[in-house]
Amino acid sequence: MQLRAQNIAFRYGKEPWLFKHVNFTLNSGEIVGLVGPSGYGKTTLCRILAGYEEPFEGTITLDGYPVQKKGYHPVQLVFQHPEKAINPRWKMGKILNEGWQPSQELLEVLGIEQEWLTRWPNELSGGELQRICVARALGPNTRFLIADEMTTMLDAITQAQIWQAVMGIAKKREMGIVVVSHEAKLIERLCHRVIELNHFN
Ligand SMILES: Nc1ncnc2c1ncn2[C@@H]1O[C@H](COP(=O)(O)OP(=O)(O)OP(=O)(O)O)[C@@H](O)[C@H]1O
């Protein structure tokens, strides 16, 4: 499967263009870094890829077709702040099973403990919450994962555990991943190649 961004341009309201002419292709199984200075629009581009935002120009396609607006989105986004990605009034079990029901095996690979699922979000650490958000994003129909500073807030051990789990799953399922990070070493270690987001590319 191929995820393709063609001639993408975006700006917020009447603000100047954030980026224009963004073009890239991501194949199943590929791990690609997305880098660029702060404020150049990496998060915005991630949101466009995952269908949360419409580009002003250009198209996002999967195997040549626009992504269906209804149903489970095959491009899933996990971003830096798990506490902003969840409903604080839902218990963790409901949050985890929002889009699909992760297997016990997946929970174990991601180090998710059963006991967490009966708690409220504010009763979990950032790392524990992020593990749940990652599991939630890894439904069987996820073809591409967009990891926008996914482990930036976490300690080195938690970061390594989450990435090891995600990379193992990606390999097994031939999932493509976009890794957004300011950590050059992480990008170097994980990615097959790197896309640089420049103004107007
Ligand atoms: N909802 C919004 N409305 C208006 N401007 C926004 C909005 N969201 C982001 N911006 C602006 O758009 C620009 C790009 O933001 P974005 O978060 O996409 O950049 P980024 O490259 O991911 O930055 P960082 O590396 O710091 O996370 C910034 O100048 C930001 O202030």
Whether 14 is in the pocket of ligand 1, judged by its Cβ within 6 Å, is no
pLDDT of residue 44: 97
Question: Per-residue pLDDT tens for 5-44?
Answer: 999 999 999 999 999 999 999 999 999 999 999 999 999 9
* Pairing verdict, β 75-78 and 144-148: parallel
Whether 38 is in the pocket of ligand 1, judged by its Cβ within 6 Å, is yes
pLDDT of residue 68: 87
What is the separation, in whole angstroms, between the first and last Cα of the chain?
25
Confidence of residue 198 (pLDDT cuts 50, 70, 90): confident
CATH numbers and ranges of domains, the chain: 2-196 (3.40.50.300)
Contacts of 108 (CB under 8 A, 6+ apart): none
pLDDT of residue 73: 95
Q: Which two tokens stand for residue 169?
A: 């799953």
Q: Which two tokens stand for residue 171?
A: 């390999």
For the residues 101-118, what does the mean pLDDT come to? 96
Between vectors from CA 142 to CA 150 and to CA 70, what angle results, nearest 5°? 110
Atom in ligand 1 nearest the alpha carbon of residue 12: 4
pLDDT of residue 101: 94
57-62, strands of its sheet edge to edge: 19-27, 2-10, 57-62, 65-66
pLDDT of residue 200: 60
Confidence of residue 201 (pLDDT cuts 50, 70, 90): low
Structure pTM? 0.94
For the residues 111-130, what does the mean pLDDT come to? 96
DSSP string, the chain: -EEEEEEEEE-STTSPPSEEEEEEEEETT-EEEEE--TTSSHHHHHHHHTTSS--SEEEEEETTEEPPSSS--SEEEE-S-GGGSS-TTS-HHHHHTSSS---HHHHHHTT--GGGGGS-GGGS-HHHHHHHHHHHH--TT--EEEEESTTTTS-HHHHHHHHHHHHHHHHHHT-EEEEE-S-HHHHHHH-SEEEE--TT-
Whether 12 is in the pocket of ligand 1, judged by its Cβ within 6 Å, is yes
pLDDT of residue 70: 87
Q: Is the pLDDT of residue 143 over 60?
A: yes
Q: Which two tokens stand for residue 87?
A: 């409903």
Q: Is the pLDDT of residue 199 over 70?
A: no
| From 18, 35, 44, 201, mutation site for ligand 1 pocket: most ligand atoms within 8 A of C-beta | 44
Share above pLDDT 90 across residues of the chain, in percent, rounded to a whole number? 94
